[in-house]
Structure 1
Amino acid sequence: MSSSSEPVIDANLAVALDALLAEQSVTRAAARLHTSPAAMSRTLARLRRILQDPLLVRAGQSMVPTPRAQALRDEAAAVVHRLGALLAPGTGVDLAALRSTFTLQAADLVGAALTPGLLRLARQEAPGVSLRFRTEDLEAGPALRDGRIDLEVGSIDHVDPETRVEELVTLRMAAAVRPGHPLTEGVLTPARLADAEHVVVSRRGRFTGPLDTALAERNLHRRVAVVLPGHMAAMALAARSDTVCLIPTAPAGAAPSPLTDVATTLGLRLLDIPLPLPPLTIGMAWHPRHAADGGHRWLRDAVRRTLHAAGSPAV
């Protein structure tokens, strides 16, 4: 069994060769690379053995390159330049030149709230970017891991150890009803809310949620007429009937959130629920391989700016 006799050349040798050929002086090359003349002299000797050429020879008080060294000079400089570009820290992305399609997973209401603001920012800052929204039909952890989605936005309930998660806004639940609904007249009490007909939003088809728990503590029970998988269909039904739909909105006293804008567009009235319900935190999740990518960083920042555009409080 034979062993290879080919020399191993590392990046440091390429950098030293470039400095020696550019400076044509061991002393000046050493100063350029912040090392000692003795160390640079040893490196020159090693390069001479590897390349089987003197490279620099004495001519009076100076050194001159050999023909082989002259032939190598430009290539050595180009190699070092490419190494520098390869190993340099990532720089900001040229948004005007960015051509990319980003896939986001979000519930229909979150997607409807995000899309206008994201599209406006893309047109202004990254016109080559396209957005694709997917409903919550994928298990987010594996989908982020294998690249089927770039960003998940919504209530993040998976805890994969490698997934990066950032909380964006904390919202409260409000009762959305059509204008002129009986609940818009007089004081809204837990009993009146329970007596109304409700539409529940549940991807899993569940009839109950936190509101039912709060009502049960007061010996109240609401009637759920229909369960729908998304908020947009539920809100459309509430806008055309006497059903009540619960939707997330900004806390009392805060500026409206983009999610509130969707309800307003449908002509819905939002009523404060006279019961303590747990808040809803909206966040975004992504795989760490995208953490330093310039385009993905723009996407995350655009989502952040869009959700905060109307003054929603950051977490």
Structure 2
Amino acid sequence: MSATDLNLLVTLDALLSEGSVAGAARRLQLSPSAMSRALARLRQAIGDPLLVRAGRGLVPTPRAIELREQVSQLVQGAQAALRPVQATNLGTVNRTFTLRTRQGFVENFAIELIERIARQAPGIRLRFVEKTDRDSTALREGSVDLETAVVDEDTSPELLTQGLFGDRIVGVVRAGHPLSRIDVSAADYAAGEHIGISLRGLEHGSIDQALGALGLSRRLITTVPGFSTALGLARSSDMIASVPERYSTRLRLGMHTFALPFVVPGFTVAMLWHPRMDADPVHRWIRSCLRDVCAGTIEP
């Protein structure tokens, strides 16, 4: 046969289990003549008579006996694969999930996420990898299970996304800094010494555009690759770090935070995953945990 009809596996399983055409027909709710035609097709496909006459009944050939267990397992496996997803016992799951995200996200949210998962699924391990660019090839290839990003027109349309939280940029200085004692104006902000943060290799962004519209500019003393590093420098100097508010909550503890005195567009941090993982019950649960942690909904 040029193309094997996989439905014949179910028929073969019934024939080998029942040992008769009539019994297999009843089991599959077919007529005896339809089952006889199916047996003829199986004999042709396999090149073996499978069931042969012995007195008033049929007996299996050696090839049929050899196939019986294998065919039964194949049919049971196929039936299990086609059943609706059943509720998963999280306590018995042993899997590692890889999350690709920025270091600041890990520092701010990972502790709550790890603790939440450990309470219900101690066999699940989280592996965090550094997000150094916006290339989501790893999600498509399956080496990463989940990713966080600011979704925009560059985000691959084949990926699924869901917002985690909205955020805005705020100014941060050390405790006792001169700016911590005043209502900061745009001119005050621009006059300070600044730490630039370049996530994409660019030194100037929305803050500089907003200041430029007011006829102002800021002086960058240094440029660093992440929010955590910027806050570390600001904590021990008079430099100003401008970082996402929600994204850096833990990292700003003990420092003075102020709203930027000019308008800079806000943004939404989202999680991204590949469609092939969408229906996986454990992956779905991990996503719900991440949503709750980012929303501040932590179970007791």
Q: TM-score band, normalised by the shorter chain?
A: 0.7 to 0.9
CA distance in 1 between partners of 2:272 and 2:90 (Å): 22
Q: What is the match of residue 260 of structure 1?
A: 249
Residues 1:275 and 2:262 aligned together: yes
Q: What is the match of residue 287 of structure 1?
A: 274
Query: Is the alpha carbon distance of 1:234 and 1:67 closer, same or farther for their aligned partners in structure 2, counting shifts above 3 Å?
Result: closer
| Contact 2:51/2:60, CA 8 A, preserved across alignment | no
Shift of 1:290: 3.4
1:234 alignment partner, one of 206, 230, 233: 230
Shift of 1:136: 2.8
CA distance in 2 between partners of 1:242 and 1:90 (Å): 57
2:175 alignment partner, one of 154, 175, 179: 179
Shift of 1:223: 2.5
Query: Is the alpha carbon distance of 1:21 and 1:134 closer, same or farther for their aligned partners in structure 2, counting shifts above 3 Å?
Result: closer
CA distance in 2 between partners of 1:183 and 1:286 (Å): 41
Identity %: 35
Query: Is the alpha carbon distance of 1:96 and 1:140 closer, same or farther for their aligned partners in structure 2, counting shifts above 3 Å?
Result: farther
| Contact 2:15/2:21, CA 8 A, preserved across alignment | yes
Residues 1:66 and 2:63 aligned together: no
2:106 alignment partner, one of 98, 106, 111: 111
> Which has the higher mean CA deviation after the structures are superposed, 120-129 or 18-27?
18-27
User: If the length of structure 1 is used for normalisation, what is the TM-score?
Assistant: 0.76
Q: What is the match of residue 246 of structure 1?
A: 242
Query: Deviation string for 1:192-231 (max 9, x for gaps)?
Result: 2222222221134544221222222222222222211111
| Contact 2:227/2:248, CA 8 A, preserved across alignment | no
Matches within 5 A, 1:32-181: 32-47=27-42, 51-54=48-51, 64-66=57-59, 68=61, 71=65, 75=69, 76-88=71-83, 91=86, 94-138=89-133, 140-156=135-151, 158-181=154-177
Query: Is the alpha carbon distance of 1:309 and 1:217 closer, same or farther for their aligned partners in structure 2, counting shifts above 3 Å?
Result: same
CA distance in 1 between partners of 2:202 and 2:82 (Å): 53
Aligned pairs, how many? 293
Query: Is the alpha carbon distance of 1:302 and 1:211 closer, same or farther for their aligned partners in structure 2, counting shifts above 3 Å?
Result: same
> Which has the higher mean CA deviation after the structures are superposed, 288-297 or 173-182?
288-297
Gaps of 5+ in 1: 1-5, 250-256
Shift of 1:35: 4.0
Shift of 1:68: 4.3
CA distance in 1 between partners of 2:92 and 2:290 (Å): 20
Query: Is the alpha carbon distance of 1:112 and 1:191 closer, same or farther for their aligned partners in structure 2, counting shifts above 3 Å?
Result: same
Shift of 1:282: 0.7
